[in-house]
């Protein structure tokens, strides 16, 4: 007899030995006190801590207008959409949100998905199936959802070195001019926080007649005059823009924005769009409110950037080594999965600082880090507290001895 549990225990055991097993903290999230939250320890003690690893960068998940809209439309329309977009699950709220997204990205159309993961995987898979002769040219640091989509398309692929336009050019120039090419990359890379040379990639795409696909998941709401992301900030032309409603916009769902024909092709053929219940109307209405609020309130982005700067100055003052990239994501390299978990546990238990360890496979082995993300609601006191707590914990684990004099400030 096959013992399936036994077979599955072995990879789990391996994960634990490597320090990569994932432990979840059951957070009692507080709309009123975010980023502070409450939790109960294993021995039943009630505690509070401050979240320093949230993707709710602009605190839109706790924004009064967004919450009110969600609750108002839920009372009007109910909780679920009741069907797929094709069969009974298409509402005015879906259409309105897609119109807002198309306008935000200066595109003819937009298409909603239940998450940006699904938007990436199903759009890329479908594109490849519709253009079977195409070759994907993908940045080596692309997100798992992109890798999944390209794999599922069964198209040929080439990988270019991270953000390396020279390598990308050499790949493009070696391909036949008649072969369809799709360049796939992210604007802000989620874990190391590096920012793509979007304009240079767009120029190469034009030169070699390639289609461009960008993941702006960590950029929408935060960059660009109205929050349209790095593409809108740089004015580059990118054919297909992918974004999320779950991070900068604080709700849930994903989308693509593109020309009418591309969007219609994905709408008509993508299984991950067609065969699933659509987002609830109240979610669409809340996301629309969030986007529009951020389009109007440009000062939120300036305040946010200043906070990122303030955090980095505080880390520098405490001698904490961090990667001084051009985005709002501040990784603190640790380079060891077990130590990363120990630091994270100690920060939570002793200082009320919640910073989940970022380990393999989220980052390659050897690049384990603490990924610090500030939000609009972190206070000056919170910033000082996280920096001094990190210093104490790094000193305790003997991690600052050589590095303390010289924080890493190299750009990537």
Ligand X SMILES: Cc1ncc(COP(=O)(O)O)c(C=O)c1O
User: Smallest distance, Å, CB 371 to ligand X?
Assistant: 11
State the DSSP code for 161: P
CA distance 215 to 146: 9
Residue whose CB is less far from ligand X, 217 or 399 = 217
CA distance 202 to 295: 25
Give whole-number Cα distances, 126 to 1, 62, 131, 400, in Å. 40, 35, 8, 48
Nearest to 412 by CA among 209, 194, 260, 259: 194
User: Smallest distance, Å, CB 128 to ligand X?
Assistant: 18
Residue whose CB is less far from ligand X, 244 or 344 = 244
Residue whose CB is less far from ligand X, 60 or 390 = 60
Work out the number of other CB atoms within 10 angstroms of the CB of residue 271. 12
Q: Cα 16 from chain centroid?
A: 26
Q: Which residues bind ligand X (CB under 6 A)?
A: 115-117, 120, 143, 145, 186, 190, 215, 217-218, 244, 246, 254
Q: For this structure, is 16 an active site residue?
A: no
CA distance 318 to 27: 28
Residue whose CB is less far from ligand X, 115 or 138 = 115
Q: Which residue has the tokens 């979007």?
A: 198
Residue whose CB is less far from ligand X, 355 or 393 = 355
Q: Which residue has the tokens 């304009």?
A: 199
Q: Which of 107, 181, 247, 307 is catalytic?
A: 247
Using DSSP's 3-state secondary structure scheme, residue 324 falls into coil
Instruction: Tell me if 355 sits within 8 A of 52, measured CB to CB.
Output: yes
Work out the number of other CB atoms within 10 angstroms of the CB of residue 280. 24
User: Smallest distance, Å, CB 6 to ligand X?
Assistant: 32
Residue whose CB is less far from ligand X, 186 or 368 = 186
Q: Which residue has the tokens 């505080």?
A: 314
User: Smallest distance, Å, CB 110 to ligand X?
Assistant: 15
**Residue 151, H or E segment:** helix 144-153
User: Smallest distance, Å, CB 146 to ligand X?
Assistant: 7
Instruction: Tell me if 96 sits within 8 A of 279, measured CB to CB.
Output: no
User: Smallest distance, Å, CB 243 to ligand X?
Assistant: 8
Q: Which residues are identified as catalytic?
A: 247
């Amino acid at each position: 007899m096959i013992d399936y549990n036994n077979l599955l225990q072995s990879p789990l055991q391996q994960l634990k030995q490597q320090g990569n097993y994932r432990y979840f903290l059951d957070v009692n999230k507080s709309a009123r006190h975010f980023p502070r939250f409450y939790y109960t320890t294993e021995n039943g003690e009630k505690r509070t801590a401050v979240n320093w690893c949230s993707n709710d960068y602009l605190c839109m998940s706790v924004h009064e207008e967004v919450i009110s809209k969600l609750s108002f439309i839920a009372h009007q329309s109910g909780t679920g959409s009741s069907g797929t977009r094709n069969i009974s699950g298409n509402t005015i709220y879906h259409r309105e949100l897609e119109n807002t997204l198309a306008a935000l990205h200066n595109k003819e159309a937009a298409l909603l998905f239940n998450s940006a993961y699904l938007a990436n995987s199903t759009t890329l898979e479908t594109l490849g199936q519709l253009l079977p002769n195409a070759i994907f040219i993908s940045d080596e640091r692309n997100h798992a959802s992109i890798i999944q989509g390209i794999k599922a398309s069964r198209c040929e692929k080439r990988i270019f070195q991270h953000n390396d336009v020279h390598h990308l050019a050499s790949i493009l120039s070696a391909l036949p001019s008649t072969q369809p090419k799709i360049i796939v990359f992210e604007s802000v890379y989620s874990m190391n926080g590096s920012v793509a040379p979007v304009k240079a990639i767009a120029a190469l795409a034009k030169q070699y007649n390639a289609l461009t696909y960008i993941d702006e998941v960590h950029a929408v709401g935060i960059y660009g005059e109205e929050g349209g992301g790095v593409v809108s900030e740089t004015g580059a032309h990118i054919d297909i823009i992918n974004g999320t409603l779950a991070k900068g916009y604080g709700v849930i769902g994903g989308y693509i924005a593109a020309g009418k024909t591309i969007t219609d092709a994905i709408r008509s053929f993508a299984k991950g769009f067609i065969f699933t219940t659509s987002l609830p109307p109240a979610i669409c209405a809340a996301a629309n409110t969030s986007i529009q609020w951020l389009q109007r309130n440009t000062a939120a982005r300036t305040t946010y950037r200043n906070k990122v700067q303030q955090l980095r100055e505080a880390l520098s003052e405490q001698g904490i080594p961090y990667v001084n990239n051009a985005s709002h994501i501040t990784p603190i390299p640790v380079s060891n999965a077990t130590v990363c978990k120990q630091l994270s546990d100690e920060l939570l238990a002793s200082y009320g600082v919640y910073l989940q360890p970022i380990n393999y496979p989220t980052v390659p082995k050897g690049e384990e880090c603490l990924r610090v993300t500030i939000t609009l609601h972190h206070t000056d006191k919170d910033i000082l507290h996280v920096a001094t707590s990190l210093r104490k914990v790094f000193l305790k684990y003997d991690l600052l001895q050589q590095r303390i004099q010289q924080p890493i400030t190299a750009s990537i």
